[in-house]
Structure 1
Amino acid sequence: MIANSAGKGRVIFHIDMNCFYASVEAAYNPSLKGKPLAIAGNPEERKGIVVTSSYEARDKGVKTTMTIWQAKKNCPELIVMPPNFERYRAASKELFKILADITPNVQPVSIDEGYMDITDVNSELSPLEMAHRLQKRILEELDLPCSIGIAPNKFLAKMGSDMKKPLGITVLRKRELASTLWPLPIGEMYGVGEKTATKLIEKGIETIGDLATHNTYELKQLLGINGERLKNRANGIDNRQVDPEAVFEFKSIGSSQTLPFDTVDEQEVRKLLASLAESVERRMKRKNAAGQSIQIMIRYKNRKTITRSKKLYRYIDTKDEILYQAEELFHLHWNQEPIRLLGITVQDVEVKKNIAKQLDLFTYEEEAGKEKLYQAIEDLSEKYGNDVFKKLDTISQDEQPRTSFQKDFLDDYRK
C-alpha cells in the first residue's frame, strides 16, 4: 500500500475521465447509453473528424481522428453528434469541485483530467479506498466514469490511470516497476510521441524497461535533455509538485479555424483573420493579459502547414493590434496557394499586473495625457480599496471556449 501519512512519501492521484465527451452526452441523454456514439465536427464544414467515441464504437473500429465516412464504414449504426463544449465545460467544473472537496491540492491539466495530492489528507481510509469512494461519487453524482492512477509521483499516476479503462484503479509502486511498467512498449509511455518512439526503436529501445536501463549519454545525444528526463521517468523519478496555481501559467493564447472551402479570396481571409483576432482578444481580456509576440498558422490545400511569428516591441491585447500584426505576417509569408485553415496566437503572454510599463518615445505622450486619470484612480483606490474598478466576474456567451483545447477556463471550479 502507498502510505499517506506524514514522512512516508507523497501520494498522487491522476483522474482521467473515460470517453469524456461521449460519456457526458450519454449522461445528458440516457438513451445513448450502450450505443456506438462518436463526437465529431460538422462534415459540411469539413470538420468531420472523430474527436472521441464511446467504447461501443471503439469496439467496432471507430478511432479518434478518423473521418466520419471511415467511421461509419466500420460501424454503420454509429450515432454521430457535434461537440457541445458548453456542456463538457459544465461537467468538468462539477468534476473538479468534487476533487476540491477532498483536498485543495488539485491541478487540472485539461477539461477531463487532473492531479490530486492526497498526502496530507486526514482520512481513516487507505489511498485505494479513497480512490474507490471518489470514483463511485463521480459516477453517482455526475453519471460519468473515470479511471484513477495512484502513485508516489505525477508521471506514475498518469501512467496508472491509462492502464485500466473504463472505471479502472491502478496502483503503481516504484519497487514493482520492473513487472508493471517496464514491459510496456516504448510508444505507450507518457511523454513519448510518435517521432520520439521511432528514434528510440531505431536504437533498439523497444520497451520502457529498455529506456530505463539505457546509457544516459546516448539518450542525451539522441534526444537532448529530454532523453535524460524520459529515462528518469522510466525509473519512476519525477519530482514535479501538484500545483493548483499551474492553471494560471499560460504563455500563449490562440484561436484557429478551418475554412468552409479552400480559398485564395483575400476578402474571405481577412474576414476570418478578423474573427480569430476578436476571439483571441476576448480570451485575453478574460485573463486580463497581454502578449509580446504574434504567430500565424497557415494550412494549405495539400495540408502543408507553416507557422511564422515575430517579437513585438511592446505588449498588445486588442483586436485591432492583433489583427494588424497577423495580417502583416500573413501577407509576408502567404505563397498565394489555396488556404484550408488559419490560426492566430499571441505568445509571451503575461498577466497585466505582472507587466512593468516601460515608457518610450512612442507611448510617453499618450501616457502623459492620462496622468490626471491615473491620479484620480489612485485617489479613489486609496479611499475605497484597490478593486474599485474591478469588473464583474461574468462571462458573456461569446467568451465561452469554442474548443476543449483552450485551457483558460480550468479554474472555473473555484468560482
Structure 2
Amino acid sequence: MSRWYPKNGRVILHVDMNSFYASVEMAYNPELRGKPLAIAGNPEERKGIVVTSSYEARAKGVKTTMPLWEARRLCPELIVMRPDFNKYRKASSEMFTILSEVTSLVQPVSIDEGYIDITDCGGMGSPPEIAQWIQNTIKERLDLPCSIGIAPNKFLAKMASDMKKPLGITILRKRDIEEKLWPLPVEEMYGVGQKTAEKLKGVNISTIHDLANADVWTLKRLLGVNGERLIRRANGEDQRPVDPEAVSEFKSIGNSQTLPHDTTDENEILQLVRKLSKKVADRMERKQVVSRNIQVMIRYHNRKTITRSKQLSEYISKEEDIFHYAQQLWEQHWNQEPIRLLGVTAHDFIDVTELTQQLSLFTYKETAKNEKLYEAIDELTEKYGTNPFKQLPPSTDSSPTTSFQKDFLDDYKKG
C-alpha cells in the first residue's frame, strides 16, 4: 500500500460527472437511455443553444454551444429538453455528499466536478479501489456516470479524468507524462484556451511536449506570467492544495460611501455610482475574478436601507459593465427620496483561470455572443497568470443571492 501513498507526496482525485445534465434527465426517465438527447434553451426557437448532450448525440456531431438548428440538422432524431434547475442541484449536492464520505478534503469547482485529497485515506484501500468505490456508489445511488483521474496533483488529476469518458478511471503519475500527456495537442491541455493555443502554435508549440520544453523567457514575453505557469503544468508541476473553502473564501467585493449631504441630485448620485463601480472593478482585477451578480445598496435620509441585486447571464469584470448594471438597479429601485449612502457590490465569482466554455444554466443562451468576453478573459489570464483567492474582510450584507453555483455549494456545506 505504501507505493500508492508516498510519504512526501499527495494523492488527488478529480471526479468529473459525464454529460451531467443529460445523464440526470436519463436517471429520472430511463426511456431516454441510449438515445440522442440534448439539453438546450428555447427548444422551440432556431436560436436555441445546446448546453450539453448525451454521448449518443455527440457521436452524431452534436456539441456544446452549437446552435440547436445545426444540432437537429446533424441528428434529426435528437430529443431536446429544457434545463431543470431543481434536478441538477439535487444531484450535485448528493454527488458531493458521497465524496465527503471518503474525506473532508473535498473542493467543488463546478456543479459537476470536484477534487478530493485522499493522501491520508490509506486505511480505505488503494487509490484505484477508492476511485472505483466512488464511481460505483455514484452509479448505484444516483444512476449517474462519472470519470475519475488519479494523480499527485490537481492539474494531472484533471487531465487524467478527461482521458477516458464515460465511466473511466485513469492514473497519471509524473513518470507517465512523457507517454500519456506530452503527445497530446496543446489545445487539449487544461488552462490553454483557443486564443492561447493559436499564440503557442505561432511559435511552433503544437503539442504539450513542445510546451514542456519551451524557453521560459520566450513564453513570458508571449503570454506574461501565465507562460511560465503553463510550462510548469506541462511538466506535471502543480502545488495547489485541495481547499474545501476555496469557493467561498470570499463572497463579495464591494464599496460604499456616504454622500456629503442627503441628495436627490441625479448627476451627483450617478458620479458616485461610477466611482464605486471603478473601485469594485479594480479590486476584481487584483483578485483576478469575474462576477455574475451585481448588487446596489441605497440608504435613505431616514436610514431606511434597501439592497437589490441582479443575476447576470454572463460574467463581467469591466468598470463599464459593472456601472451599467448598477445604474439599472438604482434607476429601477430608487423611490426619489434623498439618498445618504450608496454601495455597489459584486457577487458570484469565478477565477479567470478556471473559467471555461462549459455552460451553466445561466449562460447557455448568451454563449454564442460572448466571444469578446472570452477573449478578454484570455488576455487577463495571459497577462497576470494565476492569483489564488485572498481573504477579504467579511461583507456586512447578509442578503441572499440567486447564484446557482453558490446555492448548491452552500447546501452541500450545510449538509
Taking structure 2 as the reference length, the TM-score comes to 0.67
Report if aligned partners of 2:11, 2:118 keep a CA contact under 8 Å in 1.
yes
Residues 1:321 and 1:90: Cα distance change in structure 2 (over 3 Å)? farther
Report if aligned partners of 1:37, 1:53 keep a CA contact under 8 Å in 2.
yes
Deviations 1:96-116 (A, max 9, x none): 000001100000000000000
Q: 1:354 maps to which residue?
A: 394
Report if aligned partners of 1:110, 1:407 keep a CA contact under 8 Å in 2.
no
Q: Does 1:95 align with 2:95?
A: yes
Measured in 2, the distance between the counterparts of 1:252 and 1:69 equals 39
Residues 1:322 and 1:309: Cα distance change in structure 2 (over 3 Å)? farther
Report if aligned partners of 1:50, 1:65 keep a CA contact under 8 Å in 2.
yes
Q: Secondary structure at the match of 2:162?
A: helix
User: Structure 2 counterpart of 1:13, which letter?
Assistant: L
User: Any unmatched runs of 5+ in structure 2?
Assistant: 254-291, 297-305, 335-341, 345-367, 374-388
**The 10-residue stretch of structure 1 (243-252 or 130-139) with the greater mean CA deviation from structure 2:** 243-252
Residues 1:71 and 1:356: Cα distance change in structure 2 (over 3 Å)? closer
**The 10-residue stretch of structure 1 (46-55 or 70-79) with the greater mean CA deviation from structure 2:** 46-55
Q: 2:221 maps to which residue?
A: 221
Measured in 1, the distance between the counterparts of 2:390 and 2:9 equals 35
Equivalences for residues 6-405 of structure 1 within 5 A: 7-43=7-43, 48-250=48-250, 280-281=294-295, 308-309=319-320, 320=330, 354-355=394-395, 401=403
Q: 2:299 maps to which residue?
A: none
Q: Number of matched residues?
A: 316
Q: Secondary structure at the match of 1:244?
A: coil
User: Any unmatched runs of 5+ in structure 1?
Assistant: 254-277, 283-289, 300-304, 328-339, 344-348, 358-389
Measured in 2, the distance between the counterparts of 1:62 and 1:310 equals 33
Residues 1:118 and 1:322: Cα distance change in structure 2 (over 3 Å)? farther
Q: Secondary structure at the match of 1:102?
A: coil
Q: Secondary structure at the match of 2:247?
A: helix
User: Structure 2 counterpart of 1:211, which letter?
Assistant: L
Percent identity of equivalent pairs: 59
Measured in 1, the distance between the counterparts of 2:173 and 2:5 equals 16
Residues 1:213 and 1:34: Cα distance change in structure 2 (over 3 Å)? same
Q: How far did 1:411 drift? A: 3.1
Deviations 1:33-56 (A, max 9, x none): 111000000145776100000000
Measured in 2, the distance between the counterparts of 1:114 and 1:356 equals 29
Residues 1:19 and 1:323: Cα distance change in structure 2 (over 3 Å)? farther
Q: Secondary structure at the match of 2:150?
A: strand
Measured in 1, the distance between the counterparts of 2:33 and 2:164 equals 20
| Greater radius of gyration (CA) | 1
Report if aligned partners of 1:16, 1:148 keep a CA contact under 8 Å in 2.
yes
Q: Secondary structure at the match of 2:320?
A: strand
Residues 1:352 and 1:245: Cα distance change in structure 2 (over 3 Å)? closer
RMSD over equivalenced CA pairs, Å:
4.1
Measured in 1, the distance between the counterparts of 2:311 and 2:141 equals 42
Taking structure 1 as the reference length, the TM-score comes to 0.67
Residues 1:351 and 1:8: Cα distance change in structure 2 (over 3 Å)? closer
Q: How far did 1:413 drift? A: 1.4
Report if aligned partners of 1:111, 1:407 keep a CA contact under 8 Å in 2.
no
Q: How far did 1:410 drift? A: 1.6
